[in-house]
Chains A and B, each alone.
Chain A
Amino acid sequence: MTSLKRSFASDSSAPNLSNKVYVRSTKSGKVQKIVRELYLRQDIPCSSNLCSKCAQIAPTDYNNKVAPFVLSDTPAGTKAFPNGHYLVPDTNAFLTGMDLFEVETAFYDVIVLQIVLEEVKNRSLPLYHRLINLTKNEDKRFFVFFNEFRLETYVARDHGESINDRNDKAVRKAVQWYGEHLQEAVRARGKSLRCPSIVMISDDKENLRKAKAEKVPALSLSEYVSGLKDADLLLDMISAGREQRENKSGKGELFYPEYFSLSKMLTGVKAGTMHQGIFNVSPYNYLEGTVHVPAFDKSLLVLGRENSNRAVSGDVVVVEVLPKDQWKAPSTKIIEEETLNKNDNADAEDGETIVSERERRALQEEVKRVHGQSVEGRPQPTARVVGIIKRNWRQYVGHVDKDSVRSSSKSSRSQQTVFLVPMDKRIPKIRVRTRQAGELLGKRVLVTIDSWDRDSRYPVGHFVRSLGELESKGAETEALLLEFDVQYRPFPKTVLDCLPAEGHDWKVPKSLEDPGWKGRKDLRDLLVCSIDPPGCVDIDDALHARPLPNGNFEVGVHIADVSHFVKPNNAMDKEASMRGTTVYLVDKRIDMLPMLLGTDLCSLKPYVERYAFSVLWEITPEAEIISSQFTKSVIRSREAFSYEQAQIRIDDKSQNDDLTTGMRTLLLLSKKLRQQRMDAGALNLASPEVKVQTESETSDPVDVQTKKLLDTNSLVEEFMLLANISVAGKIYEAFPQTALLRRHAAPPKTNFEELGNQLKVKRGMEIRTESSKALADSLDTCVDAKEPFFNTLVRIMATRCMMSAEYFCSGTQAYPEFRHYGLASEIYTHFTSPIRRYADLEAHRQLAAAIDYEQLDPSLHSKAKLEAVCKNINVRHRNAQMAGRASIEYYVGQALKGRIIEEEGFVMKIFSNGFVVFVPRFGIESLIRLRDLGTPEPESEFDSENYVLNVTGSRNVKVELFQKVKVRISDEQEKSTGKRKIRLALL
């Protein structure tokens, strides 16, 4: 009987065959044994330019071309490797030193082994993506070598050998092979070429030892870095991880409870005994976190360091609800880390306790307060973190805490541990070991968190790079962009390659026979104009209106035809989809699309012909829509107005040309449309909007103004809303499963509980939240005759109780959930700003397919892909908003620098030891603490039922909610964040 069994060991007839056996657990809980056959090849090139043999055997692609070889034939040398060297890092090297590999002064010619790449992917997805980006960077010369598929470098697993050992063996084997292979190659070339060394980089002691035994050149990461220039700077960038941990292990006291095992958490979450959610820290109280979980209406409170158990704001955590007798009301006290733990010593480990004495006192006072409250204390469920599902650690911007630096002399190169205080107050201090403490003082610094062990009170991280002096414009702007994860690097070449070759000379083709005209309507005769903020260069939209013979009007909204220039799935599209939106800062704009498109070819500039995507309606004088039509078109804008210019033109009775009449018609219709919308229950919300005026040359801030709203603003807005709604209906009709829409969920009732109660107690007013209509009406009744701004204040506060609107893919929600609460529209999407929003671009593509203009790209058919796009653009959108606001905040601070102004403000929020005042003139809100009122810190009595704070002692004041107060505005540099900030003082 011949055996049926396939023998992989020592079968000489099939030396190029191996297999891999593993267990795969599927999401549905199935567990499968997987056997993969592995066909070993000999034509995988080494990709070194030194080797001519591999160039001949390397496989060719579809175009019969060999992928260009990556590794340099004259790699850089170091003292230890004078002939030049290629690096072969193992997994640990990448995990601990990814920042190092990204520096531009060193780490060229790196061979990334497939096995290492896979391990990195399993250990950390973000690091994996960074590594992939490195391999795509042509300058860095990183080459992925598929060692598992190459016959010579394939290593079989010995019996009883652990996977890790086997992989280490594979790395050593690859290093060895490379060494021999290159020597051979150099010999074959015959010339007096230097043969570079192949150096393995590993942090695994055992691996290094074995490498030594096998005579494979190997170094630990720090050993290697020590041999480079700027070693001090580079050494700081090694992740503070294992080495330190190993030193400490054993002696350290454990401050935090251990995390549950993953399977225990998953079971708990499934069974409902534990809950999973995102951990958020209160911006007012760093000891108080909240986790919103589906099982509870109100967010779960996580109080104190011990309960938050090393979770950092943004992490996905699993929590366990504490017994009911430990439930508490959310804090009414401001607790800032800086004030409590000022004098921590970064180096000292021993004297540390998890909760410092002062923190404990602060918390205890809280508890007392809660227990003392007999009448409906409204306790909220509390919870403790039992495990982390996913860390969302990113790079944090901050500055070095002056007090934690022992020797600040710039020349000192001794390593010391310092605290880095992140700009984001919700992030704890980060302990960083550095050799350049002196230099980093007073700088904006970028760091990452590496780990947070049970025996360390603060997370441990490492230095990435310095952004520049605190308060210098460049550093602060970059800090802002980094904090909000805005991609601000220049567009790579691959993206720019996607632009039309004609560049700025591109024109709408003359001949109507040109393929560009196919399916386009010639609307060049229409009197189209655009109305935008002054100085706007990326003009997305233009409008026209003209009377029809039957007494109705034809109104057109013309949107820049970006989808004509940005084809799906090319490099430019991918970049745009990643950026998601253009980010507007006070002095800077970070574009989603390259300048050429955004400000020229797509922009609907006046007097030139441009491609557009038009929505045309027939509208009765009563603003009823008779019909709507969508078409690609060519237009020629007659004029680009600013809001103000447009307003003047409309108001100017002497102007009676067709263009002006058209604009008047638009204005008239827009008012009616607005009324219809309001009647349907659209909300008129307010957010404090100010504009920073900057000097045109230096863009230094000069003045701060609140934005004025003109009729023409709402003219444009109304028609854009109308266009968006019409398009949403159309693409949903065409693609019920995959239309990209935007929804705004109705806010849960509990969101308004506090505001409603505050209004009831203080003013006897009522907020009704059954529907958006009821809310809109009740907001209209919240008026204080003496105080016109009171209504706006309530609206601002109401806005903060709302959910945020989000993009979604229509197949993922039921139709009633499509509703846009704020606009009171059944269905909505974004269509009108494709130059600056990716969602609009996708909507353009879907609409083009819906009107049979072109085929829909398959990526827009796939629900999963669209969902991923939505998720990304939702995040980007929010970040862009926050970055914009932070930028304004920074500039307001700069504008007021050195000035002292007295202004009116309103009390917005009251704590037991302070209150928040909002100053409408500058759109700023700031905290006034009790201790700012006088020294010694005055006594206070907090009546939380009536929102009154009675201050006695060194200062006698009574502060209550909604009260109008006079404040003095000055500026100060906030110590905790290094930001220049407004400081308010009560007068």
Chain B
Amino acid sequence: MAPVQSQVLLSPAELSYLHSSLSLNPPIRPDGRSPTQFRPLIAESDILPGANGSARVCFADGTEAIVGVKVEVEKSQWQPTAGEHASRLSIAAGDIAMNDEEDESEDTSKNKGLGENSWVEMSIEIPGFRDDDSLPIFLSSMLTEALLASGELKDRLYINQRFHWKLFIDILLLSPPLSYPLPLLSLTTHLALLSARLPALKSEQDEDPLFDDDWDASIPLYPRSKSKSVTDIPPITLLVMTVGSNIIFDPSKEELSVAEAVLAISCAASPTTSGSVRLLSIRTIDPPPRLTPPGIPNSMNSATGGNAPVSSTDAIAQREALSLAGVWTPPRGGIKRGLIGRVLKMVAEKGGVAEEVLQALEKVEVDG
């Protein structure tokens, strides 16, 4: 699942320098940000009049993405036989349907569980990648996973026993993937979903759906009450990397090239306590430095009087024994348990990074 990126053209010495400055306490980032600081970005939502919801975000490094959200009415797959159907129509439909669908989607059974995962479809287009390349697929599955995790979204797509909305999220990266595009795409998707609206339903219960033709009467996909208490909002996925014991948010491309571990953390607003954030998923991402060329220490360099290793296995063995500062060694992977705990805490705590980001994004919607 290695995210393929254009190679960073840094020499082992430069990598080593970068690594050590990021390992300091507090770390010194090449662009002078604090560890939790995000790169400045410009965002606007509701930019495509024909879509149900849309957004566009530009990062300062020049990456830019547009997301369009469209919904379509679709017949639900599960169709009872004619006789069953008629009797179902007359009894209250909800309960029965619920039992039926629970086995299809166990992971959300604690919710109403009427929705199905297949009702959300995401496609990501990244310049230079085919749609069956691993990067777009990996990114879309990660974003979809977060979207579906709460179960509330797909339940809102339920219209009645026979119909549902199908949600299409089209993500378009306009610039080449200069840095790992996950945070950009996640934030844009978040904004687009916030601005998305569904036509208002006029029919009742299990009738064929009829909708109000007044667009102003449409309801937001993520309804937001003024009091901000019971709000489900679309998740965001943050990219976090660690260097030594330092935790660095929103890493740039260069920073990523010396990361010891990279985590993608999805979180959304907690439905219970207002303001706090709940974690939806954590995924580790193969850190790119694994592919960087290692620096050669003096002891292994015959030009400086060392003994060059005889074979590649020999080289690895010798390297394992070394712990020389100043010589670039690609990280071996793995992350300490305590560190994960700290990362999660920083993301999810009250007043933590996730909350800060969510609040900042909410402003976009209001201003836009």
Contact = CB atoms under 8 A, between A and B. Distances in A.
Contact of A263 (B58, B207, B216): B207
B203 interface: yes
Contacts of B215: 21-23, 33
B49 interface: yes
6 nearest A-B residue pairs (beta carbon): A263-B203, A267-B207, A263-B207, A35-B49, A21-B215, A263-B210
Nearest to A162: B214
Contacts of A157: 216
A364 interface: no
Given A35-B50, A261-B207, A1 B58 contact: yes
A29 B49 contact: no
A271 B210 contact: no
B213 A5 contact: no
A3 B44 contact: yes
A270 B208 contact: yes
Interface string A820-835: 0000000000000000
A263 B44 contact: no
B47 A264 contact: no
Given A263-B202, A271-B85, A25 B52 contact: no
B46 A5 contact: yes
Given A23-B213, A23-B215, A271 B50 contact: no
B169 to A, nearest CB: 16
Given A29-B73, A31-B73, A35-B50, A23 B89 contact: no
Given A21-B49, A35-B50, A271-B89, A29 B211 contact: no
A25 B211 contact: yes
B211 A31 contact: yes
A30 interface: yes
A271 B90 CA distance: 12
Interface in A261-276: 261-264, 266-267, 270-273
A3 B47 contact: yes
B72 A31 contact: yes
16 contacts: A3-B47, A4-B56, A22-B214, A23-B211, A23-B212, A30-B72, A31-B72, A33-B51, A35-B50, A160-B216, A163-B214, A261-B203, A263-B207, A264-B203, A271-B86, A273-B86
A25 B213 contact: yes
A361 interface: no
B297 interface: no
B204 interface: yes
Given A157-B216, A163-B214, A264 B207 contact: yes
A6 interface: yes
Contact of A23 (B44, B51, B56, B214): B214
A275 to B, nearest CB: 14
B35 interface: no
Interface in B205-248: 206-216, 218
Interface in B263-306: none
Interface string B171-213: 0000000000000000000000000000100111011111111
Given A4-B47, A19-B49, A23-B218, 13 more contacts: A3-B44, A21-B49, A21-B216, A22-B214, A23-B213, A23-B215, A33-B50, A261-B207, A262-B210, A267-B203, A267-B208, A271-B85, A273-B89
Interface in A151-184: 157, 160, 163
A157 B215 CA distance: 12
Contacts of A5: 44, 46-47, 368
Interface string A7-30: 000000000000101111100011
B199 A23 contact: yes
A5 to B, nearest CB: 5
Contacts of B44: 3-5
B221 to A, nearest CB: 13
B56 A30 contact: no
Interface string B28-43: 0000000000000010
B82 interface: yes
B172 to A, nearest CB: 12
Contacts of B71: 31
B49 A6 contact: yes
Contacts of A267: 203, 206-208
Q: Chain B's interface: helix, strand, loop or mixed, by majority? A: loop
A267 B162 CA distance: 11
Q: Which range contains the number of A residues in contact with the other chain?
A: 20 to 34
Interface string A692-707: 0000000000000000
A560 to B, nearest CB: 51
A149 B76 CA distance: 42
B199 A33 contact: yes
B207 A30 contact: no
A21 B204 CA distance: 24
B101 to A, nearest CB: 21
Contacts of B208: 29, 263, 266-267, 270
A261 B204 contact: yes
B264 to A, nearest CB: 26
A21 B217 CA distance: 11
Interface in B64-109: 71-73, 75, 82, 85-86, 89
B73 A264 contact: no
Contacts of A261: 203-204, 207
A32 to B, nearest CB: 8
Nearest to A157: B216
A260 to B, nearest CB: 9
A951 B181 CA distance: 97
Contacts of B214: 22-23, 163
Contacts of A271: 85-86, 89
B216 A272 contact: no
A264 B205 CA distance: 9
Nearest to B368: A5
Interface string A270-291: 1111000000000000000000
A33 B199 CA distance: 8
- Point out which of B73, B86, B368 has the most chain A C-beta atoms below 10 A from its C-beta: B73
A33 B52 contact: yes
A96 B46 CA distance: 42
Contacts of A160: 216
Given A23-B218, A263-B208, A30 B213 contact: no
A158 to B, nearest CB: 10
A31 B199 contact: yes
Contacts of B82: 272
A316 B218 CA distance: 32
A954 to B, nearest CB: 54
Contact of A266 (B58, B73, B207, B218): B207
Contacts of B368: 5
- Point out which of B86, B202, B210 has the most chain A C-beta atoms below 10 A from its C-beta: B210
A270 B85 CA distance: 12
Contacts of A30: 72-73
Nearest to A263: B203
Contacts of A6: 49
Contacts of A4: 44, 47, 56
Interface string A947-976: 000000000000000000000000000000
A30 B74 CA distance: 8
Nearest to B43: A1
- Point out which of A1, A31, A266, A270 has the most chain B C-beta atoms below 10 A from its C-beta: A31
A35 B204 CA distance: 27
B204 to A, nearest CB: 7
Nearest to B200: A23
Contacts of A23: 199, 211-215, 218
Interface string A320-338: 0000000000000000000
Nearest to A19: B49
A264 B49 contact: no
A449 to B, nearest CB: 27
Contacts of A25: 210-211, 213
Nearest to B218: A23
Given A4-B47, A31-B72, A33-B215, A264 B204 contact: yes
A33 B197 CA distance: 10
